[in-house]
Amino acid sequence: MRKTIGVRLTAPLLAATLGPAALLLAPVSTAAADPARADTAAAAVPGMAAAPYEYLGWGSPQKPTDVMKATGVKWFTLAFILSDGGCNPKWDGSRPLTGGSDEAAIKSIRAAGGDVVVSVGGWSGNKLGEKCSSASALAAAYQKVIDAYKLKAFDIDIENTEFGNATVRQRVVDALKIVKTRNPGIVTYITLGTTPTGPDATGKDLIKRGAAAGLANDGWVVMPFDFGGHSGTMGQASVGALEGLKAAVKSAYGYSDDAAYRHIGVSSMNGKTDEAGETVTTADFRTILGYAQQHHLARFSFWSVNRDRACGSGTDADACSGVAQSPYEFTRIVVQYQG
C-alpha cells in the first residue's frame, strides 16, 4: 500500500461464447455501469468493509488469529502480490501462491471464521500491470490469485510507476473488467494516493478511464497521508480528500451523491507516516469512522496491523506506530465499521 517506512505500504469461467478478446473489443460506454446501484457487494458480507492491511513478509507480522482474538476483526487485507519478473504473480514477487506460509495464514484465518482480501501492487517491486503486456494477460495473472484462494474480494493498490503510466492504468482497468465478468459477485477495490482535496490529475484520469470502460468497481479507495503539507487535523484532511474523491467518482460515473459515497473508501496509516511531522492519531481514526458511518463508504482500512502497537526502544518503525497506544488500538476503531 503506501510508500512506506521500509517497503511500500503504502483481482469461473467466462460465458462460453465470450473470451477475453471479445471483452476487450466490445464497445465501451461512457456512462456508468449500473449507475443507479447504490449499494456495493461488500455491504452484504459482514466485516469485509473493515479489513486492515497486514504484510506477512515484513514488519514482524503478528499471527492473524491472535489479532482476531484480541480485536474481533474478521477480515484482513493481505499484501502484496507482485510480479516474479514476468507476468506471473507471487507474494512479494518471490513466495509461491500455494504450499507456503501465506496460504497457511489464509487457511488459519478462515478456520477462525474470517476471510481475506488479497492486495496486488504497493509502492515497491515489480508490478504485474507493467510486466503483463496486455489486459487479457494481466487478467489471467489476477485470476491465478483469485483461483488460488477462491477470493471474494480483490484489491489493486496502484502506485508509483504503475500509477504514473497511462497505458498501464488503462490495462489495469480493462483487466479488472475481465475479472469482474469472469467472477460474478467478486468485490474489487482500486486503492490510490491522494491530495488533501482529493485525487490528483492522474487519479482522476484513472477514475474516468474506469467509468468510460464500464468498470463496475465496488470501491475507489484513497490513502490520505504523505500529503507533503495539509491544514487542520489529519482526520479533517482525510475527510477533505474523501469529499474530493466522492466528487470525482460522482462526476465520472453519473452516480447520485448516495451512490458515489457507497463506491468510495479510505485506507489510512496509523501513527507517524512517512512524512516528517505528519501523524494520524486514534482521534483522527474516530473522525474517519464517523464520516464512513454517516455516508456508508465501501471501505475503511489502514496500513497496517504490523504497526498497530507502540514502539519499544530501538524498535523498527515498520513494526510499530511511533505513537503512544495500547496494542491494536487502531484496529479496534476500524473494526467498528460495518458498512
State the catalytic residues: 159
Task: Please state, in angstroms and as integers, the Cα–Cα distance from residue 205 to each residue in 35, 170, 192, 193, 241, following that order.
Answer: 19, 10, 12, 13, 16
Name which of 277, 289, 219, 283 is nearest 253 in CA terms. 219
What cell does 242 get?
474523501
Scanning the structure block, which residue is given the C-alpha cell 478462515? 110
Task: Pick left, alpha or beta for residue 163 (phi over 0 → left; psi -120 to 50 → alpha; otherwise beta).
Answer: alpha
Distance, CA of 116 to CA of 118 (rounded, Å): 6
Question: How does 118-151 read in b/e, with b if 16+ C-beta sit within 10 Å?
Answer: bbbbbbbbbbbbbbbeebbbbbbbbbebbebbeb
Angle subtended by helix axes 166-182 and 201-212, to nearest 10:
40
DSSP state of 309: S
Peptide bond connecting 80 to the previous residue in cis, omega within 30 degrees of 0: yes
